[in-house]
Chain A
Amino acid sequence: MWEEELWNKTLKAALVIQNWYRRYRARLRARQHYALAIFQSVEYADEQGQMQLSDFFSFMLENYAKTPKEDSALVSRLFENTMRENRDRQEYVGLIDVPDSYDGPRLQFPLTFTDIDLLLHAFKQQQTLHAHYVIEVLFEARKVLKQMPNFTHIKTSPSKEITICGDLHGKLDDLLLIFYKNGLPSENNPYVFNGDFVDRGNNSMEILMILLVSFLVYPTDLHLNRGNHEDFMMNLRYGFTKEILHKYKLHGRKILQILEEVYTWLPIGTIIDNEILVIHGGISESTDLNTLHKIQRNKMRSVLMPPMSINREYDVNIKKNKTGSSIATPGKAESDNFPSEQLTKHEWEQIIDLLWSDPRGRKGCYPNTSRGGGCYFGPDVTSKILNKNQLKMLIRSHECKPDGYEICHDGKVITVFSASNYYEEGSNRGAYIRLSYGSTPKFFQYQVTSTSCLSPLHQRVNTMEFNAFRILKERMLSRKTDLTNAFQLRDYSRSGRISLAQWAFSMESILGLNLPWRSLSSHLVNIDHDGNVDYMSSFEDVHIEKPVKEMKSSLIETLYRYRSDLKIIFNVIDTDHSGLISMDEFRTMWKLFNTHYNVHIDDSQIDELASIMDFNKDGSIDFNEFLKAFYVVHKYEKPESRPDQDKQKLPPASLKTADPKLQS
């Protein structure tokens, strides 16, 4: 009897502990998901802001009335290809010498697999490839890519499987891990890299060089698809431009110029065994592969540069003259307007859709409001487009997934994402796919880590959460005025408090982020025992650092909020890539910006701003220096707890292979 009682007690005790632990673990996982949701929604909102810039550019061009000289420089910057065909590589490569003291990798043209090994070895040692070789590789790549069709056709066989990798985003460790586990590219080990090789991570240049060199050595076995980040304007905002200018102080600008063009020659997609379409983003209900095969893809320079008609009057006349008589097809009429260097609107949208769209469960095709470009496509759209083109499956990337891959639309759409820890250490796994004709796809997952074993779950979640909320708070700060107005509108008694429901509603409508605000509230704001929110408490421990004391806080907030956009705009105006713009250019641009974005800064403040920014009093503004000065100070931040950007990378260690998990 006594023994049975003891056994009972033990059983109950074990149950209590297990029950409690399962709840604890579930809470951790939920917090992890919340943090991921924050990272993702902020990322997409940024992309959306990016897309809206293109509206500003059209507006700017319509209103930027200057001397013909300046006007044409700006127009050509925005419209035409700046690379003249006859610009010889000698002009570039010949001008750059490799000094004897350089101890980095030296490539030999024509490239062979030895050069691939050389690069991998050097990059593991954290060496940088000399600008001379970078430019040579870019020129060589341009030459070969130009000859390729918009879509590469590949055939596999049971003995020749192909590996498909998704976004890498400058994470060199992930690429090295893939090569380590899956083997280097070769005739018997073909690869498709599905876009987004660059931006965000610290080694975009190294990844790009490895991929381009491998492509040049194995042009029929290593396939590169263009992603939405293979776009010089995206690079301005998301880090690659900064990386290049930092690593290549002398020749960075030259590299950027050639890179701009190399991107446009990257193929749009790959078709495997006439069954599987591999593209970076997705599709839309109007995706037309016939059109896409024929497009001159190199005219797609940037997502921020949609085709614009120069002659507006002609447009108006077309509308007026629409009678019952035969109307020219939209494509044709528009192309009469456009300079020959541009795509038609229809063609341009076709490419945008392929590079920016996301699959969703809801049927139909809707504008992708999170990102501001491409669309959301449902399972019916997938079926329609696949059937129309006698295809069986779509493999795409573009979205970070916790497990590195995800299958949806009844098994017809696979997302593969190869940058592990994309948002944060422990945020997600990376994955790649191995395919061959007639067998189900095999998935391989991994997670790079800088320590020899993964830190415990609660530590990883804490770090993720910390960073996610930091980003969110900075976002709130950039909209402080609008948020304060929204809160005060609901605070009838002027008590400084509103209900949780009112707070959540205001946050969502002002920030435009679809997040579980109630669940996040305790991290963002003080809540009293009645459940009411002290809405200004969010702003107590953060402020934007003022570059100059006399600046008004509303101006500071505006500059902080739009700093990424402003950086891009300045770069575009700076047609000679000098890093400087004139005071006049600045004033004009700022006035336009003011009007278009509907910010309320009056002329006197602009003049004041211009003179403040002219540090040297020489009539020109170094905008990079100026924008660097805007950053957020977090009052209670401990320096050790901030993520270390220049972390020494140790060899990757953690790798798990998945069982084939394809749902039919």
Chain B
Amino acid sequence: MAEEKEREGTEVIVAEYHKKIKDAFEVFDHETNNTVDVREIGTIIRSLGCCPTEGELHDFIAEVEEEEPTGYIRYEKFLPVMTKALLERKYRPIAEDVLLRAFEVLDPAKRGILTKEELVKYMTEEGEPFSQEEMEEMLSAAIDPESNAINYRDYITMMVIDEN
């Protein structure tokens, strides 16, 4: 009996996940033919609350692509893989304090800031480097034009407020 109830509960959750995924997918489905441009997949996954790395994203795309890649991802292939990711709580987002510590690692002198040059160097040369567009966008919001530096605590606080 308990098992049945649990299954029913999961079914309801899955149904709601399906609706959420459909909503997010449709917003990017410009031609309303149940496909989206593969370049939008990252945005869709992230808008559903997941935080894959670029590497994880590539793996995901490989799973949902056609055998002969067309540049488009079909909803029928996307749905099961995305549902599984949500159910398994894959690609958990990064907590605020982890983010803060990451900035502190890059700022060993504990100034509370990173200069523009330092930020650019780390973001475009280390890890999974930013594209020029990504870098410019981050700079436009993060850098204080007077000091030409980012106060990362303030930045994090502002972004978190914005999110909520």
Contact = CB atoms under 8 A, between A and B. Distances in A.
Interface of A: 9-27, 29-30, 33-34, 37, 359-362, 406, 408, 454, 456-458, 462, 500-501, 504, 516-519
Contact of A360 (B32, B45, B123, B134): B32
A504 B94 CA distance: 30
A17 B128 CA distance: 10
Contacts of A454: 140
A25 B142 CA distance: 13
A24 to B, nearest CB: 6
Interface of B: 16, 19-20, 23-24, 26-28, 30-33, 35, 42-47, 50-51, 53-54, 93-94, 98-99, 101-103, 105-106, 122-123, 126-130, 134, 137-138, 140-141, 159, 162-163
Contacts, number: 129
A642 to B, nearest CB: 20
B23 A517 contact: yes
A23 B160 CA distance: 12
B134 A16 contact: no
Contacts of A18: 54, 123, 127-130
Given A12-B127, A15-B53, A454-B140, 5 more contacts: A14-B123, A17-B106, A30-B24, A359-B31, A456-B137
A33 B28 contact: yes
B74 to A, nearest CB: 12
A10 B122 contact: yes
Interface centre among A17, A30, A519 (most CB of B within 10 A): A17
Given A23-B46, A517-B23, A519-B24, A11 B140 contact: no
A11 B106 CA distance: 10
A384 B108 CA distance: 67
Contacts of A20: 51, 93-94, 99
B23 A14 contact: no
A505 B8 CA distance: 21
B134 A22 contact: yes
A27 B27 contact: no
Nearest to B128: A18
A464 to B, nearest CB: 14
A14 B16 contact: no
Contacts of B137: 25, 456-457
A30 B43 contact: yes
Nearest to B46: A26
A16 B140 contact: no
Contacts of A13: 101-103, 105-106, 122
A27 B24 CA distance: 11
B44 A30 contact: yes
A24 B163 contact: yes
A518 B23 contact: yes
Contacts of B159: 24, 458
Contacts of A22: 42, 46, 54, 134
Nearest to B103: A17
A456 B143 CA distance: 11
Nearest to A361: B33
Contacts of B163: 24, 27
A15 B162 contact: no
Contact of A17 (B24, B35, B99): B99
Nearest to B95: A20
B32 A16 contact: no
Contacts of A16: 94, 98-99, 102
11 contacts: A9-B105, A11-B126, A12-B102, A18-B54, A19-B53, A20-B93, A22-B42, A23-B94, A25-B134, A29-B43, A504-B19
A516 B44 CA distance: 13
A454 B133 CA distance: 13
A15 B99 CA distance: 10
